[in-house]
Amino acid sequence: MSVLVVGTTALDSIKTPYAENPRLLGGSASHAAVAASFFAPVHLVGVVGDDFPQKYVKLYRKHGINLDGLHRATGKTFHWGGEYEVNMNNRRTLFTELGVIENFTPDLPAHYRHIPYVLLANISPGLQLHVLHQMAKPKFVIADTMDLWINVALPDLLKLLRHVDAIVVNDSEARHLTGEDNLHLAIKKIHRLGPAYVIVKKGEHGAILSAPGGHFIAPAFPLEKVVDPTGAGDSFVGGLIGYLAGHRGSVDQNLRKAIIYGSVVASFCCEGFGLDRTTKATRAAIEDRASHIKKLTHF
């Protein structure tokens, strides 16, 4: 079954202590859509400006991503700049130029409205709601968000949470959203805001799932070298929803495996700048890393 992904389609200018790379293909929707495409057909909703390079459109196409929902507007593509410290868990945003995304209120193509799996990747909760309202009867809806929206768009975010099945946040966002320092109590509070499934990302330390059927604690794939972690969270959730859409059975049956496959795709993302490494991953390489995690966690 197919996945709909809405989020930012961006140009990213990224600095690490070792290299600097301007105007890479980035954005929450780009990372998530490519990650999901390893497992299921993907339909993208986003907007780019007239400065968006054709080679990036080709990259989406190489992954079979349907672009009928990708709008081209006059103006500049969303451009984000970020800089990492030697400890790559520490990142600072250098600039965020909204460009054409500022006035983006898409009408979805008719054939997008019946897609069963919906990923509301990181973008303003108002826009996430606008897209969700156009969907007929999705089978499973996951939303991602970030600190910025907790700060500047909390009423919309709380409204959104009442309408999604799952929310993905990192541990500091879970604490920020609930005002609760203990992560397990924070997760309980997030359930009370609406989602039956709460997934908390803990970077290199993996992820926690809290679901109606109980908890699952997943490790991250152990990497010896991280080149650029930008988009790892988006790749995680993209891989996760792609895996769910691509496999028979209920969400409850497949969600634990989906989290492992999401972690695996995120590990490839971290090994190159932008989408460089993710786009070169293969299903065989993904399976190898998933088996490795299985061995690591068996006892």
In the complex, least distance from residue 71 CB atom to ligand AMP, rounded to whole angstroms: 16
User: Looking at 135-143, 229-237, 246-254, 276-284, which segment touches ligand AMP (CB under 6 A)?
Assistant: 229-237
CB of 269 to ligand AMP, least distance (A): 8
Q: Which residues pair with 142 in a beta bridge?
A: 119, 166
Are 201 and 168 within 8 A, CB to CB? yes
Size of residue set near ligand AMP by CB under 6 A: 16
Cα 63 to Cα 278: distance, rounded to the nearest angstrom: 11
Would you count residue 234 as binding ligand AMP (CB under 6 A)?
yes
| Closer residue to ligand AMP, CB minimum distance, 246 or 262 | 262
Output 128 or 254, the one with its CB closest to ligand AMP: 128
By the rule CB under 6 A, 27 interacts with ligand AMP: yes
**Would you give the end-to-end CA distance of the chain in angstroms?**
34
| Binding track over 78-97 against ligand AMP, x by CB under 6 A | --x---------------x-
Nearer CB in complex with ligand AMP: 123/255 = 123
CB 107 within 8 A of CB 134: yes
Q: Please report which residue ranges of the chain form alpha helices under DSSP H.
A: 28-36, 54-62, 125-132, 147-152, 154-161, 171-178, 183-192, 232-246, 251-270, 283-297
Beta bridge partners of 198: 167, 210
* Contact flag: residue 10 with ligand AMP (CB under 6 A): yes
In whole angstroms, how close is the CB of 124 to ligand AMP at the nearest point? 7
Distance CA 99, CA 106 (A): 15
How does DSSP classify residue 109? Answer: P
Assess 12 for contact with ligand AMP (CB under 6 A). yes
Contact characters 106-145, ligand AMP, x per CB under 6 A? ----------------xx----------------------
For residues 131, 175, 264, 14, the Cα torsion angle rounded to the nearest 10 degrees is 80
Binding string, 163-202, against ligand AMP, x = CB under 6 A? Answer: ----------------------------------------
Query: Residue 2, interface with ligand AMP (CB under 6 A)?
Result: no
Among the listed residues 88, 232, 275, 286, the single contact to ligand AMP using CB under 6 A = 232
Establish if 8 lies at the interface with ligand AMP (CB under 6 A). yes
Q: Which tokens go with 30? A: 């780009």
- List all residues 6 or more positions away from 95 whose beta carbon is below 8 Å from its beta carbon: 79, 80, 81
Options 19, 102, 103, 148; binder of ligand AMP; rule CB under 6 A: 148
Query: Which residue type occupies 154?
Result: L
Q: How far apart are CA 158 and CA 143, in angstroms?
A: 12
Bridge partners of residue 85, in order along the sequence: none
Greatest alpha-carbon pair distance for the chain in Å reads: 56
Residue 178 corresponds to which tokens in the numbers above? Answer: 């609930």
Of the listed pieces 22-30, 52-60, 150-158, 190-198, which binds ligand AMP according to CB under 6 A? 22-30
Among 37, 128, 145, 230, which residue interacts with ligand AMP (rule: CB under 6 A)? 230
The contact set with ligand AMP (CB under 6 A) reads: 8, 10, 12, 26-28, 80, 96, 122-123, 148, 230-234
